[in-house]
Structure 1
Amino acid sequence: MGLTTLLETLTDLVVIVGADGRVRELSAGARAFLGERVGAAPQLHELSGVVEPTCRAELASPVSQALTRGGVWRGTVWLVDGAGIVAPYAVTARLDPAGGIVIVARDTVDARARGAAEAESRSKDEFVARLGHELRTPLNAMLGFAQLMELEPLTPDLHEDVERIITGGRHMQALIDDVLDLARLRAGRGDINKGPVNVLDIVQGVVELVEPLAERRGIRRIIHPARPLIADADRRRLWQVLLNLIGNALKYGREGGNVRVGIVPVTGSRLRIEVEDDGVGLSPASLSRLFRPFERLGAEDTGVEGSGLGLALSHALVTAMGGVLTVASRPGVGSVFAVVLDAVDVRYDHSEDDAGELAGEGQLEPGGLRVVHVSGDPGLRELVTDTLASALGADTISVPRGALAVEAIRRARPSLVLLDRDMPDVAAVDLLPRLAADPVAGMVPAFVLTSDADPDEWTRLRRAGAAHVLGMPLDVTTLVAATSQLTAS
């Protein structure tokens, strides 16, 4: 596809300016936005007329400084359209190697609408949470008095009525707990405490718990593989999710059929827990509504008990743990629910008393390079692992969060540590001093990977303790040169 054809397909405002200041190319969106406000062959300075005057004055110096220092500037600019309406645009200006400049402006109307919708959704969730708390008080009183009545000498009919009150009250209490839990998670205030979790232990525990239901329905359980994999997850919450998924597979699976639970490693240092049944399956229309609260997809007509909150809550819990919950289903064949989570590599372990030998272990021997890479991006983890293996014969231990870095370094005793500048739970500039303070991790040189070209940011990272700062995309030649310097020293 040629440049002109590409520009004709873009709705963003794209302006390509030559070294002489003359506009060389305009995207279709830019031409429509500018209209007749500029001539047929405009100069760059003529385009300043579409920038709101106050914004123009405020940005002149910062944009010029950023382009001079790093060759790129990003920010919000208020632009005036042909009808005189002022709106914010997300703008990127980047210097061209030939001396020109490329400007891309994207309307943020959709982003603002999405932000407003998310704010409205959060307010609804907060309202539901407050309502749930208000309902709990009278419900607890009702259950308390009913249980006191249960201790009194009652006629069989009255005793049965009291038991119905208690059973219904406890069901309502569980429903309110689930609603409150879902509301907190969707409002970003869920109670999630992540750490290394043996997934096989949880799967076996859940399968044992639901054994009576499986026996009643004559369903055979299959767990594969029979070896542990460690996930970065909240143990209690993962148990809750798998109890719901495996319980659903047993409730809705075919009588006398099979339920398979698989635990498999996947690319990017992640693992997938699959729960597969051979039940009636789901139609595409049903799949689109599957994770909505109180959506039972017609199951209320089958006699199977449920509130329609389990899958919605499970989806929210997996998302809060940094994972993904997916489903694949075919009517008449069955369904496969999959939970994908970050894995924790625990291949290496050393006793604490050999910390003094680390200096010898840390030397970069040919083919013996061991690296700990801390990154929240599965794609980048996979890329770095493959790149280091092919270019340096390195063995890379991927770590999904900064909080796990020290323990991983103590276990693996690597030759070096690679840190993403921004990790899910901490920035590299804050993690580096923590590594330096540890008697084991502090002896391992740390490199930081960053896509930020700002020299001031690189200086800040070095002052925080980075042995080297490497730009992204990853340059293998630069990495090899940096490790060679460590070997020489």
Structure 2
Amino acid sequence: MASSAGVGILLVVVVVIASLRAFKHSEASAHMRKDTLNTLIYTSDLLSELTDAETGQRGYLLTGNLMFLQPYTALRDNVHSHLQQLQANTLNATAQTHLVKVLPLIDAKLAELAHVIELRRHNDMDTALKVVAEGEGKRLMDLIRAQINAFIAIQEKALAQHEAAFQSSMQQLLAIIIVSGMLMVLFALSFSYFMYRRSQQQLKNAVHLKTRHLLAQQEQMNGQLQQSNLALEGSEEKLAVTLNSIGDGVIATDVEGRVTLLNAVAEQLTGWTQAEAIGRPVGEIFHIIHQDTRQPSAIPIMAALAHGEIQVMTNHTLLIAHDGSECIIADSCAPIRGKNCQVIGAVLVFRDVTKESVAKQAVRDSAALIQAILNTVVDGIITFHACGGIIETVNPTIEKMFGYNAAELIGQNFSLLIPELDEDKCNLCLNFNARGKMHSTGLQQEVAGHRKDGSFFALEIALGEMELSGRRYFTGILRDITARKQAEEALFKANALQNAIFNSATFSSIATDEKGIIQIFNVGAERMLGYKAGDVMNKITPADISDQQEVIARAKTLSAELATLIKPGFETLAFKASRGIEDIYELTYLRKDGSRLPAVVSVTALRCANNKIIGYLLIGTDNTQRKQSEIEQKKLFQRAQLALDAGQLGDWSWDAASNLVTLGGRSAKMYGFPERECVTREQMRALLSTEDADYAGKAWDQALVEHTAYNNEYKINLALGEQRWISMTGCGNYAEDGTILGMTGVMQDISERKYNEAKLHESIATAEKANLAKSEFLSSMSHELRTPLNAILGFSQLLETGNPLPTAAQMIRLQEIIKAGWYLLELINEVLDLSLIESGKLLLSPEPVLLVDALLECVTMIEPQAQQHAITMTLLPFDNTWLITADRTRLKQVLLNLLSNAVKYNSQPGTVEVICAEISPNHIRIAVKDSGAGLPAEKLTQLFQPFNRLGQEHGNEEGTGIGLVVTKKLVELMDGSIGVESTVGEGSVFWVEFVKCEVLPAADHATLPIKWLAPVPEQPALYTLLYVEDNPANLMLIEQIITAYPDICLLSAPDANIGMALARAHTPEVILMDINLPGISGSKALKLLRKDPVTAHIPVIALSANAMPSDIKNGLEAGFFRYLTKPIKINEFMKALDEALKHA
């Protein structure tokens, strides 16, 4: 006890020490994991702050708003403290190296940002944009990201190591706790066991004395029991001899139906030994079923035990032995009763009656067979008395043959059916031997049968004699030979025709004698083999004009097949036919000219009346086409197999009858089955999820019912948790009556494709999100830029045409302002076009466009620019009826860009030629050729890159570097193509190709420009114009434009609420409405005006800086009369206003 207590205390001390140690390790790992995680968070924050600072710099560069510089200022003030904190928290030397490298890069990036910001503050926009375009900032940012990403990778690896160490420490602590608990339990159990042993020893000593007394009493009782057992063994021996000597099986059970005895016969019939059966339920030993239904039958022992009555087994009972063999049995069962007449068991006696049952069934089957033969035989069978000819029986054929039913014939004289055998003649012919022996009368002849309807027909009769129960009968076999008579007559007529066919057939007929010497060689054989009949008849055998190697090979094959030595020669060709075996085989004949003829030969032995062979007939058909088809089929199969291998496809086929799917090697491998496996559809469905299995099953059934191709993709679950995507296709196989025979198809493992598709969808979603953000930014930028541009260009146009006119110097300055303003607007439009094209949201309206109209309009527009640059433009003649399929507006945009570039980057003086040519029946090429400096090959590869001006950034000509990019994308969207050919020192040729259209335009497109003229009403009228606008500059512009029209009164409102109130009070003829208004937007104000009966009729023109195509479309759909974008062109604005006034 003391030692056990000491061991327990020692264990407690060890466990406590180990637990404290494991806890310290886990606490240290947790602390390191937390520090590493914080370091990763600080690093990600630093990278985000750098990105925000760069984005803010771009925003400040575009807008000049100091709000955008807040991220940059915060980064500049805190970046060094962030880096110091990261260095303090970083223990890894490699990670410290990356932090050391990133510090100068961040300083350089901050310097670059500060430089650009400083340039913008001094309004040096061009230099600032140039610095950004050089890409130094992007390069520094990429280097910073690379160093920080490397640092993050190291920290993430360290985080994983700390996490693993923490988990390991926690597992050790848990293991120590579990082990200590088990040791304490083991100690408690040991102590309890020691106490138990002591109490058990005391109990054994007390029990020992009592046991010795009981043993003495037991020995006395055993002597008495032994005498009783000797008497019982004698009785059992007599019973065993009795049971083993009878021929029936005997099974005895107790009252619960458990077997207590089987005799030898029962052992033989059930297949169980008595040792195996004793104690088992009788239903397990005596397994019986119904012979016909194969359903389990009730065991009579159980009924005898339940009711206490004798049970007799019903018929048609099968006993199924232990080894599965079956026998038919007959049995009976009786209950066994004790002294008080209580049922204490049952005994079953049974025997094998299989042979008796089979014999009885054979008798029944024989009778049924005879009756079936009589009912189905094509000949009429009739029995009648030998004396008097009274009809006894007839079969159904007699009824059909003569038109009587059986009741009408039985009891009538046989002469009723055959009048020429009248009663006297019948008695004379059907004589009887007085000695009572049966014999054949020999009566077999052709007679005339007499039908019930009075008609006669040819009949053949044969009579046989029999004796039944001491009485003589005759059996007559009657056959309607009408068809045979007709055939004999037709045969006579057909002999000549058959001879003609034989001699003119397209197949060869070669007849030989019994030795194989050719006796007949028909015209078909002459045509096929090139021999004349005289060349071969009575001279050679068919084997002499056959391929000898094939003859030798066939001899070997037949010798092995029939276990008989067959010599090569004619015997090889006719051996099977001589044995009465049907023989059709392929053989190659050798023509007279030496060429080879593949043939299919059928050989038949010709026999005389006594069945002796007198010759052979060889019918041959030309097998050339079939052989060629087999070769082609083999090639097709090889190509199909190559195609399957090339496409990584597996083949499969399903048999509807067996419901088995045969999988090719690759298909079986996909499903994880052995190669070339046959499985059921259910086995394949088991690998699918429930949803996929249901869908695949429905698609399968639908394809079979609708006679369409089955095409499905689904995921299967293989062993060890592996999942695989399968693409399965197939087509149904049908019988001529439409019965489904099966389906055949191919399958492919598309797991990699599905993985790539998922990645692609993820990438697309990310790109679409980024594209949406870009579109929103561009839309916002467009709105913010167009608003000031509207004032700049609007007032500049007013000054240009104002009264008094500006001075010459002022006009030059105004024109520069207008030129710069329109250039900036063009830049905004091109950026928006490029964004729309890249996002796939650009809407085109393809239509037939008359090429000459579009070119003349564009050339006319570029002509003034060309004259300023001393450029001569030439439009070479072409067919002025050519039509191309394009969006009219975008086509002009493409042509104007090419013509404008040809003028801008040309030599002075120079030339520009426009050449149109039909390069194919379906395509027209438009080429713009200039006489400029040309482009080297290395620059041609960069030609269609966005914002790449190929070194022209410092030239005199303005440009954005995206015009050609937009042009290329527009051409491709209109199903066209674009290209360039350039020679340095000679010039360049830019060309576009479009699809030629043969359909005339739906309407006549006018080619003359339409100019707006200020209305000069015959009777001056006063109009009221309401302008709702919150921007004072825009309002002032419209006020000055309207000043030139004294017949228009202008009202204004700074927001929608005031504007709607003025509209109700003054009911103006036209309303100008800004969209982005404070409070209620212009679109919502339009809806409210339309709901008010007072203002519902007033046309409303939208005047907004929201210039995206979607904005314009939405505005027109909302109900605006026109949608004008800022900055406005005064002539277009006045044209829209005039149309609205006319509408009002």
Indicate whether the TM-score tops 0.5: yes
Aligned to 1:198: 850
Aligned to 2:978: 326
Is 1:185 equivalent to 2:831 in the alignment?
A: no
Aligned to 1:24: 664
Tell me, in whole angstroms, the C-alpha distance in 2 between the residues paired with 1:309 and 1:100: 56
Amino acid across the alignment from 2:673:
V
Give the one of 208, 222, 225 matched to 2:878: 225
Shift of 1:191: 3.8
Tell me, in whole angstroms, the C-alpha distance in 2 between the residues paired with 1:83 and 1:304: 69
Q: What fraction of aligned residue pairs are identical, expressed as a percent?
A: 20
Give the one of 46, 62, 80 matched to 2:699: 62
The residue matched to 1:210 in structure 2 has which SS? helix
Higher RCO (C-alpha 8 Å, min separation 6): 1
User: What is the correspondence of 1:302-341 to structure 2 with a 5 Å cutoff?
Assistant: 302-321=955-974, 323-329=975-981, 332=984, 334-341=988-995
Tell me, in whole angstroms, the C-alpha distance in 2 between the residues paired with 1:156 and 1:184: 42
Aligned to 1:438: none
Aligned length: 340
Let me know the Cα RMSD of the aligned residues.
4.3
Tell me, in whole angstroms, the C-alpha distance in 2 between the residues paired with 1:83 and 1:229: 67
Shift of 1:72: 0.6
Is 1:134 equivalent to 2:774 in the alignment?
A: no
- Residues 22-66 of structure 1, C-alpha deviations (whole Å, 9 max, x = no match): 22353xxx68755xx110112364555654443122221122212
Is 1:41 equivalent to 2:676 in the alignment?
A: yes
Shift of 1:308: 1.9
Is 1:346 equivalent to 2:1000 in the alignment?
A: yes
Shift of 1:136: 3.4
Aligned to 1:239: 892
The residue matched to 2:876 in structure 1 has which SS? strand
Aligned pair in 2 of structure 1 residues 68, 311: CA closer, same or farther (>3 Å)? farther
Tell me, in whole angstroms, the C-alpha distance in 2 between the residues paired with 1:203 and 1:2: 54
Amino acid across the alignment from 2:707:
G
Which structure 2 residue ranges, 5 or more long, are not aligned?
A: 1-637, 735-740, 1004-1144
Alignment check: 8 A CA contact 1:200 1:263 kept: no
Aligned pair in 2 of structure 1 residues 160, 214: CA closer, same or farther (>3 Å)? closer
Aligned to 2:504: none
Amino acid across the alignment from 2:879:
A
Is 1:171 equivalent to 2:811 in the alignment?
A: no
Tell me, in whole angstroms, the C-alpha distance in 1 between the residues paired with 2:835 and 2:896: 20
Is 1:294 equivalent to 2:947 in the alignment?
A: yes
Aligned to 1:264: 918
Aligned pair in 2 of structure 1 residues 90, 290: CA closer, same or farther (>3 Å)? farther
The residue matched to 2:999 in structure 1 has which SS? coil
Tell me, in whole angstroms, the C-alpha distance in 2 between the residues paired with 1:170 and 1:258: 25
Indicate the structure (1 or 2) with the bigger Cα radius of gyration.
2
The residue matched to 1:22 in structure 2 has which SS? strand
Aligned pair in 2 of structure 1 residues 76, 186: CA closer, same or farther (>3 Å)? farther
Aligned pair in 2 of structure 1 residues 145, 59: CA closer, same or farther (>3 Å)? same
Tell me, in whole angstroms, the C-alpha distance in 1 between the residues paired with 2:708 and 2:931: 57
- Residues 95-148 of structure 1, C-alpha deviations (whole Å, 9 max, x = no match): 479965222444244444444444444444433332233223433343355468
Alignment check: 8 A CA contact 1:77 1:90 kept: yes
Question: Quick check: 296-305 or 224-233, which moved more?
Answer: 296-305
Shift of 1:69: 1.6
Tell me, in whole angstroms, the C-alpha distance in 2 between the residues paired with 1:173 and 1:240: 15
Shift of 1:9: 2.9
Aligned to 1:421: none
Shift of 1:214: 4.2
Tell me, in whole angstroms, the C-alpha distance in 2 between the residues paired with 1:328 and 1:79: 52
User: What is the correspondence of 1:294-443 to structure 2 with a 5 Å cutoff?
Assistant: 294-321=947-974, 323-329=975-981, 332=984, 334-341=988-995, 343-346=997-1000
Shift of 1:297: 3.7
Tell me, in whole angstroms, the C-alpha distance in 1 between the residues paired with 2:834 and 2:999: 31
Alignment check: 8 A CA contact 1:249 1:276 kept: yes
Amino acid across the alignment from 1:101:
T
Tell me, in whole angstroms, the C-alpha distance in 2 between the residues paired with 1:314 and 1:83: 55
The residue matched to 2:711 in structure 1 has which SS? strand
The residue matched to 1:65 in structure 2 has which SS? helix
Alignment check: 8 A CA contact 2:947 2:961 kept: yes
Aligned pair in 2 of structure 1 residues 2, 341: CA closer, same or farther (>3 Å)? same
Amino acid across the alignment from 1:176:
I
TM-score, normalisation: structure 2: 0.26
Shift of 1:81: 7.0
Aligned pair in 2 of structure 1 residues 109, 201: CA closer, same or farther (>3 Å)? farther
Alignment check: 8 A CA contact 2:884 2:996 kept: yes
The residue matched to 2:661 in structure 1 has which SS? coil
Tell me, in whole angstroms, the C-alpha distance in 2 between the residues paired with 1:331 and 1:348: 42
Shift of 1:86: 4.7
Tell me, in whole angstroms, the C-alpha distance in 1 between the residues paired with 2:931 and 2:976: 22
Shift of 1:155: 12
Tell me, in whole angstroms, the C-alpha distance in 2 between the residues paired with 1:80 and 1:278: 68
Aligned pair in 2 of structure 1 residues 156, 122: CA closer, same or farther (>3 Å)? farther
Amino acid across the alignment from 1:259:
E
Alignment check: 8 A CA contact 1:14 1:103 kept: yes
Question: Quick check: 169-178 or 146-155, which moved more?
Answer: 146-155
Tell me, in whole angstroms, the C-alpha distance in 1 between the residues paired with 2:807 and 2:855: 45
Alignment check: 8 A CA contact 1:190 1:320 kept: no
The residue matched to 2:746 in structure 1 has which SS? strand
Aligned to 1:407: none
Is 1:3 equivalent to 2:640 in the alignment?
A: yes
Aligned pair in 2 of structure 1 residues 10, 266: CA closer, same or farther (>3 Å)? same
Amino acid across the alignment from 1:15:
D
Alignment check: 8 A CA contact 1:17 1:102 kept: yes
Tell me, in whole angstroms, the C-alpha distance in 1 between the residues paired with 2:951 and 2:718: 50
The residue matched to 1:21 in structure 2 has which SS? strand
Amino acid across the alignment from 2:858:
V
Amino acid across the alignment from 1:239:
K
Tell me, in whole angstroms, the C-alpha distance in 1 between the residues paired with 2:870 and 2:822: 26
Shift of 1:257: 5.2
TM-score, normalisation: structure 1: 0.56
Aligned pair in 2 of structure 1 residues 243, 80: CA closer, same or farther (>3 Å)? farther
- Residues 246-277 of structure 1, C-alpha deviations (whole Å, 9 max, x = no match): 3233444566355343142645x454434455
Is 1:102 equivalent to 2:730 in the alignment?
A: no
Tell me, in whole angstroms, the C-alpha distance in 2 between the residues paired with 1:348 and 1:185: 28
